[in-house]
Protein backbone atom coordinates (compact mmCIF):
# COMPACT_ATOMS: atom_id res chain seq x y z
CA UNK A 1 0.00 0.00 0.00
CA UNK A 2 1.38 3.36 -1.03
CA UNK A 3 0.49 6.30 1.24
CA UNK A 4 0.27 9.69 -0.47
CA UNK A 5 -0.98 13.18 0.40
CA UNK A 6 -2.67 15.75 -1.82
CA UNK A 7 -3.97 19.24 -1.24
CA UNK A 8 -6.75 20.67 -3.32
CA UNK A 9 -8.25 24.12 -3.78
CA UNK A 10 -11.89 23.81 -4.83
CA UNK A 11 -13.58 26.88 -6.33
CA UNK A 12 -17.14 27.64 -7.33
CA UNK A 13 -20.20 27.67 -5.10
CA UNK A 14 -18.62 25.52 -2.40
CA UNK A 15 -19.29 27.41 0.84
CA UNK A 16 -22.64 27.31 2.59
CA UNK A 17 -23.75 24.24 0.59
CA UNK A 18 -22.59 21.41 2.89
CA UNK A 19 -19.48 20.84 0.74
CA UNK A 20 -17.13 20.24 3.70
CA UNK A 21 -19.50 17.83 5.44
CA UNK A 22 -20.03 15.84 2.26
CA UNK A 23 -16.28 15.81 1.62
CA UNK A 24 -15.71 14.44 5.14
CA UNK A 25 -18.39 11.78 4.63
CA UNK A 26 -16.81 10.70 1.34
CA UNK A 27 -13.29 10.70 2.84
CA UNK A 28 -14.47 8.54 5.74
CA UNK A 29 -16.08 6.07 3.30
CA UNK A 30 -12.76 5.86 1.46
CA UNK A 31 -10.62 5.62 4.61
CA UNK A 32 -8.82 8.91 3.87
CA UNK A 33 -7.58 11.26 6.61
CA UNK A 34 -7.19 15.03 6.41
CA UNK A 35 -9.40 18.10 6.50
CA UNK A 36 -11.61 20.46 4.51
CA UNK A 37 -11.74 24.12 5.52
CA UNK A 38 -13.31 27.29 4.12
CA UNK A 39 -10.83 29.88 2.83
CA UNK A 40 -11.33 33.65 2.91
CA UNK A 41 -11.47 33.78 -0.90
CA UNK A 42 -14.61 31.59 -1.01
CA UNK A 43 -12.82 28.38 -1.91
CA UNK A 44 -12.54 25.19 0.13
CA UNK A 45 -9.05 23.88 0.91
CA UNK A 46 -8.74 20.10 1.23
CA UNK A 47 -5.84 18.04 2.57
CA UNK A 48 -6.22 14.31 2.00
CA UNK A 49 -3.87 11.43 2.67
CA UNK A 50 -4.02 7.68 2.65
CA UNK A 51 -3.80 4.87 0.14
CA UNK A 52 -3.04 6.30 -3.31
CA UNK A 53 -6.18 4.86 -4.94
CA UNK A 54 -8.47 6.20 -2.22
CA UNK A 55 -6.89 9.68 -2.22
CA UNK A 56 -7.18 9.87 -6.00
CA UNK A 57 -10.84 8.76 -5.74
CA UNK A 58 -11.51 11.62 -3.30
CA UNK A 59 -9.76 14.11 -5.59
CA UNK A 60 -12.07 13.00 -8.42
CA UNK A 61 -15.12 13.18 -6.13
CA UNK A 62 -14.30 16.83 -5.36
CA UNK A 63 -15.41 17.69 -8.91
CA UNK A 64 -18.89 16.39 -8.01
CA UNK A 65 -19.12 17.87 -4.53
CA UNK A 66 -22.27 18.17 -2.48
CA UNK A 67 -25.75 18.15 -4.06
CA UNK A 68 -26.10 21.96 -3.68
CA UNK A 69 -22.57 22.89 -4.75
CA UNK A 70 -21.29 24.01 -8.14
CA UNK A 71 -17.64 23.12 -8.62
CA UNK A 72 -15.86 25.28 -11.18
CA UNK A 73 -12.28 24.11 -10.66
CA UNK A 74 -10.20 21.74 -8.54
CA UNK A 75 -6.47 22.44 -8.36
CA UNK A 76 -4.55 19.49 -6.89
CA UNK A 77 -0.94 19.44 -5.72
CA UNK A 78 1.27 16.85 -4.08
CA UNK A 79 2.16 17.58 -0.47
CA UNK A 80 3.85 15.98 2.51
CA UNK A 81 2.09 13.43 4.69
CA UNK A 82 1.29 14.56 8.21
CA UNK A 83 0.44 12.78 11.46
CA UNK A 84 -3.37 12.79 11.27
CA UNK A 85 -6.23 11.01 12.93
CA UNK A 86 -9.52 11.10 11.03
CA UNK A 87 -10.96 13.77 8.75
CA UNK A 88 -12.06 17.16 10.10
CA UNK A 89 -13.97 20.12 8.74
CA UNK A 90 -12.29 22.83 10.81
Just list the catalytic residues: 20, 38
Interior/surface letters 1-34, b for 16+ CB within 10 angstroms, e for the rest: eeebbbbbbbbbebbebebbebbbebbeebebbb
Q: What's the CA gap between 90 and 88, in Å, rounded?
A: 6
Q: Could you count the other beta carbons within 10 Å of the beta carbon of residue 75? A: 10
Amino acid sequence: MSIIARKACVTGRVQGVWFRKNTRDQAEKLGVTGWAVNADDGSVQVHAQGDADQVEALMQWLWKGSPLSRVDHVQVQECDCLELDGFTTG
